[in-house]
Each structure stands twice: as C-alpha cells, then as structure tokens.
Amino acid sequence: MGFGAAAPGDTACGEAVSDLDDLPAGSSPANCAPAAPVAGAAFSGTGRRCADKRTWADRPDSYKRSENARLRRLRAERPDLNRAKNARWRAENPEKHAAHRAVERAIKRGSLTRKPCERCGAVSGVHAHHDDYGAPLAVRWLCRMHHKERHREIEAVSC
C-alpha cells in the first residue's frame, strides 16, 4: 500500500493495531488518530495513523520519486481510474470545461501564448486562471503557488 493507505487495524507506519489496548510501543490514543481516507484507494479502512510520523513534505526525495513512479505505473495500467471522476466534474461544470478547452485550443492554434506569472515572473509551470468563465480567453497567467493563492483570495472574499 502507498503512503496514506491503511489496511484495517494498521497504523500508517505499518504496525498492526487490533484495538486501543494493542497500540504500537510508544504510542497512545492521544498521538494516534484514525487514518484519513485516501482518494482513489481501494480501501479506506479504519486504520490508525501515528501523529509523530512524517508527512509527505518530510519524506526524502527518493521516496517521493519512487511513489510518484508507482502512481504513474498505476495510471498507465488503469487509465479508467480517474475517468468517472473527471466525467462527473465535466458534467457538473460545463462552463469551466468549455473555458479550459478554449484556452487549450487557442494555445495550440497560436492565438494565445503563455506568459510569465503576473506576480513573480516565473516562466515554467504557469497556469491560465479565469476570473470570468464567460470570457474564456481572458486569463491571468499565474504560477502554481500564486494560482492557489488567488483561489484562496477569491474564497476569502466570497465567505
């Protein structure tokens, strides 16, 4: 199982737990919490995750590379894995999907060119952000970090 997926009665570190009396050495109910379900996992059991274990950001790069390679192989073997989720999103968001496709076609045609991030000037990994999906080619070019930041700004205003 990959990082974050737990079988029933397992901790994130792989130690079996049948109930609270059987916690791994050095663990207590205070520092173990139910494992969070993993998107796309075959089973989202009731395993426990120890709070003192490393997060994804704390993992070594070699682990991240091997895990990302595993996920790429899984997607290659099972291309239908996200197909239903993506089809549902397209059905629920037709205006957004149409705007995204319009930008893709315009870039391919050459009538729209990628520009550096408006906030930091980064040139690689730049996203097209739509403030108004009714004007599909009116986009702001933002790097991944600033694109996420922009969505947080919008969410804060709408609350």
Instruction: Name the percent of the chain lying above pLDDT 90.
Output: 43
The domain spans of the chain are: 20-77, 83-158
Name every residue whose Cβ is closer than 8 Å to that of residue 46 and which is 6 or more positions away in sequence: 8, 9, 34, 35
Coil, strand or helix at 33: strand
What's the pLDDT tens digit per position in 82-94?
888 899 999 999 9
**Distance from C-alpha of 90 to C-alpha of 96, rounded to nearest angstrom:** 8
Q: Is the dihedral of CA 138, 144, 146, 148 positive or negative?
A: positive
Choose between 23 and 133: higher pLDDT.
133
What's the pLDDT tens digit per position in 80-130?
888 888 999 999 999 999 999 999 999 999 999 999 999 999 999 899 999
- E strands within the chain? 32-34, 48-50, 126-130, 139-143
